[in-house]
A and B are shown apart, each in its own frame.
Chain A
Amino acid sequence: MSWYALWGALEIGLIYGLVALGVLISFRILRFPDLTVDGSFPLGAAVAATLIVSGWEPFSATLAATLAGALAGAVTGWLNVRLKIMDLLASILMMIALYSINLRIMGRPNVPLITEPTVFTLFMNESVPDHILRPLLILVVVAAVKFALDWYLGTQAGLALRATGSNPRMARAQGVATGAMVLAGLALSNALCALGGALFAQSQGVSDISMGIGTIVIGLAAVIVGESLFSSRRLVIMTAAAILGAVLYRVFVALALNADFIGLQAQDLNLITAVLVTIFLVVPLLRQRLRGRRRN
Chain B
Amino acid sequence: MKWTLPAKKALNALDAGWAHTAAFARGVLAPALGAAALCLAATAAAHAQSVAVTSIVEHPALDAIKDGVKDALAEAGYTEEKGLEWQFQTAQGNTAIATQIARKFVGDKPDVIVGIATPSAQAVVAATKTIPVVYSAVTDPVAAQLVPSLEASGTNVTGVSDQLELARQVELIKRLVPDARKVGMVYNPGEANSASVVEALRQLLPTMGMSLVEASAPRTVDVGAAARSLVGKVDVIYTNTDNNVVSAYESLAKVGNDAKIPLVASDTASVARGAVAALGLDYYEMGRQTGRMVIRILKGEKPGDIPSETSDKLALHLNAAAARKQGVTLTSELRQSAAQVIE
Contacts and interface: CB of A to CB of B under 8 A. Distances in A.
Contacts of A112: 122, 143-145
Contacts, number: 158
B96 A12 contact: yes
Interface string A101-117: 00100001110111100
A213 B93 contact: yes
B151 interface: no
Nearest to A102: B190
A210 B39 contact: no
Please tell me the size bucket of the interface on A: 35 or more
A153 B89 CA distance: 42
A97 B58 CA distance: 28
Interface stretch (B26-34, B73-81, B228-236, B261-269): B26-34
Interface in A14-44: 16
B339 interface: no
A4 B89 CA distance: 17
B40 A1 contact: yes
Given A114-B122, A248-B32, A267-B58, A8 B100 contact: yes
Chain B CB within 10 Å — which of A109, A253, A261 has the most? A109
Contacts of B152: none
B88 A208 contact: no
Please tell me the size bucket of the interface on B: 35 or more
Given A204-B123, A255-B36, A211 B104 contact: no
A210 B127 CA distance: 19
Contact of B103 (A5, A114, A269): A5
A280 interface: yes
A203 B126 CA distance: 8
B178 interface: no
A2 interface: yes
A279 B94 contact: no
A12 B127 CA distance: 13
A158 interface: no
A266 B42 CA distance: 17
Contact of A270 (B92, B102, B192, B195): B92
B63 to A, nearest CB: 10
A109 B104 contact: no
A257 interface: yes
B301 interface: no
A109 B100 contact: no
A57 interface: no
Given A218-B96, A255-B36, A283-B31, A8 B103 contact: yes
A11 B127 CA distance: 12
A253 B95 CA distance: 13
Interface string A83-108: 00000000000000001000100001
Given A257-B89, A280-B32, A206 B195 contact: no
Given A8-B107, A12-B100, A206-B122, A115 B145 contact: yes
Given A213-B93, A266-B89, 11 more contacts: A2-B108, A112-B143, A114-B126, A200-B96, A205-B145, A206-B144, A210-B95, A266-B88, A267-B58, A279-B31, A280-B32
Interface of B: 28, 30-32, 35-36, 39-40, 42-43, 58, 87-90, 92-97, 99-104, 106-109, 118-119, 122-123, 125-127, 143-146, 188-192, 194-196, 218
Interface of A: 1-9, 11-12, 16, 99, 103, 108-110, 112-115, 131, 200, 203-206, 208-211, 213-214, 218, 229, 248, 250-255, 257-261, 265-267, 269-270, 276, 279-280, 283-284, 287
13 contacts: A5-B103, A8-B107, A8-B127, A12-B96, A103-B189, A114-B126, A205-B145, A210-B191, A213-B93, A257-B104, A259-B39, A266-B89, A269-B90
The 7 closest A-B CB pairs, nearest first, are: A8-B103, A4-B107, A205-B126, A2-B107, A110-B192, A112-B145, A209-B190
